[in-house]
Chain A
Amino acid sequence: MDTHVFASLAQIRILLVPIGSISQQTFEKYASEIRSFDAIRLGDIAVEGTKDERARFQPKSLSTGYLHLSFPSHPPPHSHQALSLIRPSQLPLAVIGVTTCSHSEALPEIISQFNGTVLDMFPPPAMYPLARNCFVFEEDSSSGISPGGQHPELIIFPEMMGNRKLHIGTLLGEICSKIFGEFGVLIQRLESPLGNEYLNASLFPSLPLLTDMPPSMDSKDTLPPLPSHSSQPELSKSALSKVAPAMKRNSSLGVPTVRKRLSAIGAASSHGRLFKVMADCFLLAGRTEDALIWYTEALQLLKSPLDTIWNASALEGMATIPILDSWSAGHGLQTSTSVGREPWSDIADKLAQATILYFKVPPSDIDNYQFLSYLYCCCVLRHTSLLFAIWSAKGWGPLAFTTMLQPGPTPYLPPTLSHNESTTWSNLERLSSMSGIPRTTISSLLSQVHGPWLLHLGSRERVSVLEAIASTYSCLGYRRKESYILREVLGCILDLIVCGREEDAHTNMRSFGIKGTVGIRLNESSDGNESILKLIKHVCKVLGVHLDAIQIVDDSSDPMSHSEADDESDIYREPFGWPELQIGVVRESVAVAEALPDFLAVAQYALSSLKTLQEFLEPGDQYHLYSTAARAMQTARRRGATKAVEYWSGRPVVSIALAPLPFVRLPIEKPISALKPRTSDSNAILKGGTDPFLYNPRRMNATQGKSLVVQGELLEFIVIVQNPYVFDMELHSLSLSTSGTPFESNPISLVVPARSYHRVILSGKALTTGSLIIRGCLVQAPGGIPREFVLPLASEEEEERLAHKRSAALCEAGRFKYFGLDSFSWRKNQSPDSSSGSSSRSSKTPSFLECKVVPEQPLLRIRRTTVTHGALMLYDGEMSSIRITFENISLLPIDFVRLAFDDSTISPAQQALAESEMSVFETYETEYALIHRPVFSWIKNDSVTIAPGRKVTLSINCFGKVGCTEGTIHASYSYIHRNPSDSEENSVFHTRQLSYPLMVTVYRMLESHGLDILPYPSYPLGNDDNVMKNSLDLFVEDNGAWCLFSIDIMNTYGTPFEVSLERVQEDVPWGETIVNVPPGSTSRLVIPLKKFLLSDEHISRPIPTLSDRQFVVDKTKLSEAEQQMQRELFWYREELFKCLRCQWREAGGTRYGDLSLRQQRLTLTMLEILRTEKAGIQLTLVRPGNPAEPIQHRAGKYHPPCSELVYVRIKVTNLTKSTLVFTLDVNIDPREHVIHDGVLCDIPVGRLEVKESREVEVAICFLCHGRFEILASARVLESGTSSGTGSARLIAMVDTNT
């Protein structure tokens, strides 16, 4: 395209065009060969021998200058024809066709193609090109191609030619020579009065047509003589005499028609313009001295009546000359610069002057605006490029000249700027200081170009001018300005694209409209889209918008590949950029990509902006971008795009958690050793610290960390996803990313509501046993590719790692200060992260949510129970049973069922035990209640098996315990003996458990109190037979060995109960007392008990604890005697309860139960009575004689005679299990009416062996009638002290009538 080189005025443009079917590579190869000649020494130009007007511009022999060539790649727009006189260098002066040919026959076709092409590029009224040639490069020809001779333009390059390059150089010289000849002809035509009038006719004159020229050329005399300092005055004069007959214009109509114009134009026009054209031609011809002379002339003439444009143009030309001279003179040598003014200041002044002149052109015809602004822009750019070249070349020198003379077609970047670090601050500053030109100077010059006049330019010129501005700004390091200008460039290009497309559409419609209604759609060409997108990205980058934040990747790419990439997304990042501008440029980028159209880019840009600028975008914009992206993705898909965008919306997955399994499905791992019988089963229940349950799911979870899931059963994961945007975000698919055992799950698609967290349940099945690791989620946006988001477990280490990372990032952020555009966030990340990031990353792998998949488990359910509504109503102490029917609803058999129970009385008791504030006695009671009186119990049965689909009923015993409000039945079951082969390698088995909660209500209806133990009365209560029959059980023989147990039972309930008290003493006949206790009344139950005696060794045992607790320190401080007494009481009480069984039965009902007597206390007096005496004493009254005659007795009373000697026979038996010494005391009441023999106190009995008895007789005589009572009591003599034990009583009725 067009480049704005400083010395473009001195460059002969030679357009290279491909002719025929030449491939681009071939063309480029040959074209670059031709282009390598950018300057030709004048001495190398073959001077034609002609001495006519054509020789005027030919180089003088042995001249030392150079002529400069440039080879544009495109023909100029047709509108530029208007500039052909004022700016001849603007148009290609020669055209070289480049083609290949393999045989001679193709040559005519080539020549016709060449002519056609040239004609197409330069339609008839054009002055140029002055020379045209077609270079035919021979290829693959067997026989040499002969030029044939009839086509002089055709130049054949044989394939075998060795020094082709040299030949090309020669040919270029010839072409130039021809051009110079044509210059001569041209000037000659302008020199004619008519020509001069034409030249002065308008601002942008055109050459008079050949037909307008006077037919005869004798009018040369009217011309003023050329100034004497003309280089070849004679030559030119003679040259004027002839019309070039060789000039074959196509318009050879030959009829002079436009005569009237001649008359209209005055003949006295100044020659300023003519001289200027001449100077231009000399400049092009490389004859700078001549050019300078003619420019000076022209300037003088153009000044007086100010001809601004031409004046300015001449100034431009003059400004070019010193550079050319310096280049050819210095050419590699540093010329010593003059002190004082800068060497280029003169040139700069001229250009500045020209700029002002151009700027001040009085407004004229609107058609000229385009050229005026173009010339103005070119002039400013020329001025800029002068300073820029000097600046970039570090000063006035050969490098600067080279830059300024650089031919096209591609822009030239001086080596000082083309290396990598060219835009660094130091480099730019160095250039400024070395060259002495501050960058601001260049940029302020450059800013003069930018103005509304750019709108007048044709689109092609506009683009090229803007390009030049942008690239200069870029080289100056003014990247913001560059991007500002680039946006305008984009605007221009898009205008062109849209217009071009509309034109295409029109032409299509026209051409096909005739043929019918067939709509034909051209394939959109995507050539060049890439570059436009590149431009957009560049602009956005300067503004801090990272359009590549979302990459476009292949459809098939691995979603796992970028696992770590987004990890830092939540780390604090310094915001960058100017939000208002960013939003604007983002909108533009999306619009541009849409207009191209490049749908993937649309999606990429829209989504990238959503991701990076989310916080600034307004809701409307967000919604627009999102919908645009979605639409674009759909379109791209429809059109068969194989690429897709990455997942974009930050980090959508917040957390993943395994939904807890329903309790009945939860498998619990148990060691296989749990199956072995336990020795101390009962103790477990007492230990408060340990778990009372056989299987506790919660404890397993806490200790193990890995949740257990069952193979083949549905698992549910709760995934929390977030949507920070204002629109409802659609996720095409969301699935779990797992490793470990195969996991079968279906991805789901969902819509996450705007600005919210959303809870999603993902379900799936683990197919085999083993460990299932949930790494994270696979997320796919519509039209995008799936992306894995790894979600490590929020463990402490992970938290620490993240915190560390975050703080490191913050630290880094504060450590370096990035200035200006260097603080791009994405650029910054690359450098410092590499060292620290790798070390931390490699340190450890994050841990993930992990599940242990266990083999398939059977599933049990409770089919039915005998409990209605789950509520159990019990009386205090009631014994009942409930039945639970279990059904196996799985396909696996169950070969292990275990029941465990829990009720509300257990934990308070356990707590009380654990606190151990109770006395030993209470502790024992509590423990006893826990172990021996559980609310629920069952008879353990290890052989329960339930086949698939079958039912089994288990019976559970219930015991009513006051205070129990609820209870739970836990059933654990398993399928243990799956496979006999691998049973030994399993150290664990898994159970599941069923719980059946029960509401329990226990009514207290009978209250017992007033326990008492009385000595058995030694006399009959009466001699009534009825009484004896009624309470048969109350009567016992040998009443001294018995006592009476009595207790009050109160019925506080509403229904009558029958209470029975049974005697279950060993060696004693069974006895029972039954009382019906009506509601609200109290009844006393009485039953005789045989006294018993516990051995000393027995009662001296400490009160036991039922648990295995060790080191139980007795808290209460009791003396030895007290402790002994307590133990005695305890053991006798225990023994007492063993002998009795108190039960109740619902009157008229079926319910029955135990009545606990354990609340009752045993007092010391009761103990005394209960305990068998050490000595058994039997009293009898006998008459003296041998054998002694017993005195008759009735109903327990003796009837001895009065005033007669009778013997009281006292039989003392040692009832203990040791040998004891006894004494006896006898007491007779009333004493004064009795006389006795010997002493009544301390009657020695002597040592009695175990079970030995001895009789002692005391003779007495009753002295009167009446009732006497004889009491004998034994005492044991032990180590000096005597203690009473055992007594007997005898009642004697002394009556006279017996």
Chain B
Amino acid sequence: MAPNLRLNAVAFISPQNHPILIRTYTKQDETAIKYHYIAHTSLDVIEERASSKSADCYLGLLYSMEDVAVYGYITPLKVKIVIAAALTDAVARDVDLNMIFKALHMAYYSAISNPFLVLQDSAGAVFDSSRPLLAGSPKWKHFRRRIDEIARVVGNASNTSTLGG
């Protein structure tokens, strides 16, 4: 594992480009919206990359901005996973990132395998006036816990230089 690879934020974006879940791991909470923007703007690049080379899920470094490097991953069903890692001088190996993405993808996969999860609001629910914000949806409780766990493991691994689990 590359040292000092620290995840600042993880974003899951639906095929319709709706945010599914966005977790940020920085200290200040007010920067959360920044990572929303990062995830959103990375869609530009993802769209370009995904159309050109479709073989691989891993899209590589999308761009780096200010203090973060943004990496992308697109599942075969067009769910996009975006990682915002703290920008360091050290080289982040694609293999490591790919592994993180695979873990995140697995987490998402197991979360949507829950048969009781209502993924898509039916047409009737559109009229429900109290639709919560998608990204903060409480239905992803377990999923969120797993993502946080992955982020924690990645952060720890950067200290011990091995990726556990």
Contact = CB atoms under 8 A, between A and B. Distances in A.
Contact of B64 (A447, A543, A616): A447
Interface in B30-59: 33, 36-37, 40-41, 43-45, 47-49, 51-52
A440 B47 contact: no
Given A484-B41, A579-B134, A755-B129, A452 B48 contact: no
Contacts of B126: 572-573, 575, 615
Interface stretch (A200-208, A410-418, A475-483, A1092-1100): A475-483
A584 B33 CA distance: 9
B135 A481 contact: no
Nearest to B62: A440
Given A443-B45, A443-B63, A480 B133 contact: no
Contacts of A810: 123
Contacts of B66: 450-452
B16 interface: yes
Interface centre among A573, A578, A819 (most CB of B within 10 A): A578
A473 B48 CA distance: 13
A440 B42 CA distance: 11
A480 B43 contact: yes
B145 interface: no
Contacts of A543: 40
Given A443-B63, A452-B66, A820 B40 contact: no
B76 to A, nearest CB: 15
A614 interface: yes
A443 B63 CA distance: 8
Contact of B45 (A440, A572, A575, A580): A440
Nearest to B122: A572
A444 interface: yes
B18 interface: yes
Interface string A669-713: 000000000000000000000000000000000000000000000
A484 B36 CA distance: 11
Nearest to A473: B44
A820 B47 contact: yes
B123 A724 contact: no
Contact residues on A (Cβ < 8 Å of other chain), bracket? 35 or more
Contacts of B52: 429, 438
A155 B154 CA distance: 73
Given A444-B63, A580-B135, A439 B48 contact: yes
Given A581-B36, A724-B129, A480 B44 contact: yes
Interface in B64-111: 64-66
A820 B17 contact: yes
A816 interface: no
B63 A819 contact: no
Given A440-B49, A614-B129, A578 B17 contact: yes
A24 B22 CA distance: 52
Interface centre among A451, A615, A755 (most CB of B within 10 A): A615
Contacts of B43: 480, 820
A428 B44 CA distance: 12
B44 A481 contact: yes
A2 B60 CA distance: 35
Contacts of A33: none
A477 B128 CA distance: 35
A820 B133 CA distance: 20
B16 A574 contact: yes
A936 to B, nearest CB: 55
Nearest to A450: B65
B71 to A, nearest CB: 13
Given A484-B41, A580-B33, A820-B17, A616 B123 contact: no
A425 B51 contact: yes
Interface in A436-454: 438-440, 443-444, 447, 450-452
B64 A575 contact: no
Contact residues on B (Cβ < 8 Å of other chain), bracket? 20 to 34
Nearest to A583: B133
Contact of A484 (B18, B37, B48): B37
Contacts of A443: 44-45, 63
B131 interface: yes
Contact of A579 (B129, B130, B133): B133
Given A444-B63, A450-B65, A578 B41 contact: no
Interface in B109-143: 123, 126, 128-131, 133-135
A580 B16 contact: no
A823 interface: yes
Interface in A795-835: 810, 819-820, 823
A375 to B, nearest CB: 20
A810 B130 CA distance: 23
B19 A578 contact: yes
Interface centre among B17, B49, B52 (most CB of A within 10 A): B17
Nearest to B48: A439
B16 A823 contact: yes
Interface string A570-600: 0011111111110110000000000000000
A572 B126 CA distance: 8
B45 to A, nearest CB: 6
Contact of A447 (B17, B63, B134, B135): B63
A740 B116 CA distance: 55
Interface in A521-572: 543, 572
Contacts of B135: 578-580
Contacts of A450: 65-66
Nearest to A543: B40
B18 A480 contact: no
B40 A581 contact: yes
Nearest to A615: B131
Nearest to A820: B47
Contacts of B45: 440, 443, 478
Nearest to A819: B47
Nearest to B32: A580
Contacts of A452: 66
Interface in B145-165: none
Contact of A581 (B37, B48, B63): B37
Nearest to B17: A820
A573 to B, nearest CB: 8
A808 B96 CA distance: 48
B96 to A, nearest CB: 21
Nearest to B42: A480
Contacts of A425: 51
A578 B43 CA distance: 12
Contacts of A451: 66
A678 B151 CA distance: 95
A479 B41 CA distance: 8
Nearest to A724: B129
Contacts of A575: 16, 18, 126
A598 B18 CA distance: 32
A823 B43 CA distance: 14
Contact of B19 (A440, A477, A580): A580
Contacts of A429: 51-52
Contacts of A447: 63-65
A579 B16 CA distance: 13
B36 A578 contact: yes
30 contacts: A425-B51, A429-B52, A438-B48, A444-B63, A444-B64, A450-B66, A473-B44, A477-B44, A477-B48, A478-B45, A480-B40, A480-B41, A484-B37, A484-B41, A572-B126, A573-B126, A575-B16, A575-B18, A576-B16, A577-B17, A578-B40, A579-B18, A579-B19, A580-B36, A581-B37, A581-B40, A616-B131, A616-B133, A810-B123, A820-B47
Interface of B: 16-19, 22, 33, 36-37, 40-41, 43-45, 47-49, 51-52, 62-66, 123, 126, 128-131, 133-135
Given A543-B40, A579-B18, 13 more contacts: A452-B66, A473-B44, A477-B44, A477-B48, A479-B44, A481-B44, A484-B37, A572-B126, A574-B16, A576-B16, A578-B135, A615-B126, A819-B47
List of 10 A-B pairs having minimum Cβ-Cβ separation, nearest first: A478-B44, A615-B131, A572-B123, A480-B41, A481-B41, A480-B44, A579-B133, A580-B36, A484-B41, A724-B129
